[in-house]
Amino acid sequence: MKSNTDEKVILDTSELRFIEGHGRLVVKSIGTDLKAEFHNIEGPRFLTRYLVGKPAEMAPLVASRICGLCYTAHSINSAECVEKALGMKLSKEVQMMRNVLYLANNLRSHMMHLLYLSIPPIEGLISVLRLRDRELFRSGAKLLAKSTELIELWGGRSVHVPNVVVGGFGTLVKGKQLMDSIKSLEAFMDDARKIVNYTLGLELPELERYRPLGSLKKAGSYPIYSESAPLALNDGSVMDAGEFYSELEEIVKDYSTSKQVHFRGSELTVGALSRIILNRRYLRPESRALSDQIEWRINPFLIIKAQAIEVLHYLEELIAAGEQLYDVFIEPSSNDYQTCKLSQGEVTACSGSGEGVSIAEAPRGVLCHSCKIEDGLIKDYRVYTPTAINSLSIELDAVELVKRFKPLGNEKLEPILEDMVRGYDPCLSCAVSLDVYSQDK
């Protein structure tokens, strides 16, 4: 048997800067081969284990704490998997409100990622606060603040939204407030345009590598959150949430506090680039026109450009949603704004048994929550995050990158490698939800 002694570390980023959670990337050579290890060193908080034995209505509250950036996605996915397990049907109003909340969540997360985390290091800056173009920074900060404000208004708090509950929403959404908040978004279109133009103008490395891509699919629209939308791959195949879940495999790596999630025994790339490649014809008009100027290829460096296009698209989508919401939420017979009741107005205890899987397009890609419930109590709860799914792609891209750019030497190679990892917008706090101690599904 060949020993491991000829393994040699050729590159080690040490703790990665500008990412959520704690991680590092190590590239090793084994003889003539290369191998990369994406280390998650974030500690687990065992949140999904805490849910076992607890009342099902607690799921969104606890799941929200998985992530400080995409908490709204976790809350909504969580409520939905419980609702599916218990056979609860949601009203059209609830689905529409969850959709707009999801849009605001993805907008906020993308803005945070582009502005604070990904653009500064690409531009060789120590911080976004050193960006020369102050107007650009202010536009970004305005969009970040506005999306946070929407989440606060619709979700009940700016971070960890208490208003998303099993069965709908906890409280009444005031018609006028809702309409005004959406109407105010038109004033932010120019800010979004600035961000998009700037990001699309960045010169980024070439790293095309073919691999399976996955994204939710919803005929006729760009997918984010939809109760019954299936998942589509770039090979044209389509599967529902349950089928997708059954194809996922948990892989332990002795260098990572979180398990990797493999799809059909191999990699799957999810996220903004996969969404754009599979669904760009459904982007809103202005975003689509900008997207058409780009030759989309499977290059991880293009993820941030896809995110920038999505920032504009989400804004266009939110503004367009205003009209649909008006039709549903405002009584046509009256010219006045009406107060609309979305659910019972309080959190109700869950009863019943069943199993449920929910999938949705969180900012970083397909997010999957699954639960088993017996007599209203949670028996099993699992979260497969986009970062856990993308981890293998990050490693394979790292190997490819080192192969192609090795002549540059380590000093120049390392920042490019970091930019590549950061492009995926990894969240190690999210990924560790599937901790190394957890029982396989």
Which residues lie below 8 Å from residue 245, measured CB to CB, with a gap of 6+?
A: 357, 359, 368, 370, 384
Q: Is residue 67 a contact residue for other proteins (CB under 8 A)? A: yes
Q: Is residue 221 a contact residue for other proteins (CB under 8 A)? A: no
Mask 83-102, x = binds other proteins (CB under 8 A)? --------------------
Mask 26-65, x = binds other proteins (CB under 8 A)? -------------x-xxxxxxx-xx---x---x--xx--x
Q: Distance between CA 104 and CA 151 in Å, rounded?
A: 6
Within its chain, how far is the Cα of 356 from the centroid?
Answer: 20
For the chain, the farthest-separated pair of C-alpha atoms sits apart, in whole angstroms, at 80
Number of residues that bind other proteins (CB under 8 A): 65
Q: Is residue 340 a contact residue for other proteins (CB under 8 A)? A: no
Q: In this structure, are strands 23-30 and 7-12 parallel, antiparallel, or unpaired?
A: antiparallel
Among 121, 242, 354, 376, binds other proteins (CB under 8 A): 121
CB of residue 276 to other proteins, shortest distance in Å:
25
Altogether, the residues listed in the chain come to a count of: 441
Q: Residue 49 or residue 288: which is nearer to other proteins going by CB? A: 49
For residue 368, say whether it is annotated as part of any ligand binding site. Answer: no
Q: Partners of 369 in the beta sheet?
A: 358, 383
Q: Residue 282 or residue 435: which is nearer to other proteins going by CB? A: 435
CB of residue 204 to other proteins, shortest distance in Å:
20
For residue 340, say whether it is annotated as part of any ligand binding site. Answer: no
Segment 417-436, which members bind other proteins (CB under 8 A)?
Answer: 429, 435-436
Stretch that binds other proteins, among 1-9, 27-35, 252-260, 277-285 (CB under 8 A): 252-260
Within its chain, how far is the Cα of 254 from the centroid?
Answer: 26
Within its chain, how far is the Cα of 300 from the centroid?
Answer: 15
Q: Partners of 367 in the beta sheet?
A: 360
Q: Is residue 14 a contact residue for other proteins (CB under 8 A)? A: yes
CB of residue 255 to other proteins, shortest distance in Å:
6
For residue 430, say whether it is annotated as part of any ligand binding site. Answer: yes
Q: Is residue 276 a contact residue for other proteins (CB under 8 A)? A: no
- What the block records as the tokens of 177 is 């407030």
CB of residue 403 to other proteins, shortest distance in Å:
25
Q: Is residue 242 a contact residue for other proteins (CB under 8 A)? A: no
Stretch that binds other proteins, among 14-22, 93-101, 174-182, 394-402 (CB under 8 A): 14-22
Q: Is residue 20 a contact residue for other proteins (CB under 8 A)? A: yes
- What the block records as the tokens of 397 is 């891209």
Segment 377-396, which members bind other proteins (CB under 8 A)?
Answer: none
Q: Is residue 252 a contact residue for other proteins (CB under 8 A)? A: yes
Q: CB-side exposure of 278: number of CA atoms within 13 Å?
A: 29
| Cα–Cα nearest to 403, from 38, 10, 123 | 10
- What the block records as the tokens of 168 is 């709908």
* Helix residue ranges per DSSP H, 156-295: 175-183, 189-200, 241-246, 272-279, 285-291
Mask 137-176, x = binds other proteins (CB under 8 A)? -x--x--xx--x-------xxxxx-xx-x---xxx-----
Q: Residue 141 or residue 251: which is nearer to other proteins going by CB? A: 141
Q: Is residue 437 a contact residue for other proteins (CB under 8 A)? A: yes
Q: How far are the Cα atoms of 11, 53, 333, 428, 438 from residue 441, in angstroms, in the given order?
A: 34, 17, 52, 21, 9
Q: Is residue 255 a contact residue for other proteins (CB under 8 A)? A: yes
Q: Distance between CA 140 and CA 115 in Å, rounded?
A: 6
Which residues lie below 8 Å from residue 346, measured CB to CB, with a gap of 6+?
A: 170
* Helix residue ranges per DSSP H, 184-271: 189-200, 241-246
Name the site residues for other proteins (rule: CB under 8 A).
14-15, 17-18, 20-22, 39, 41-47, 49-50, 54, 58, 61-62, 65-69, 71, 108, 112, 116-117, 121, 126-129, 138, 141, 144-145, 148, 156-160, 162-163, 165, 169-171, 252, 254-257, 344-347, 429, 435-437
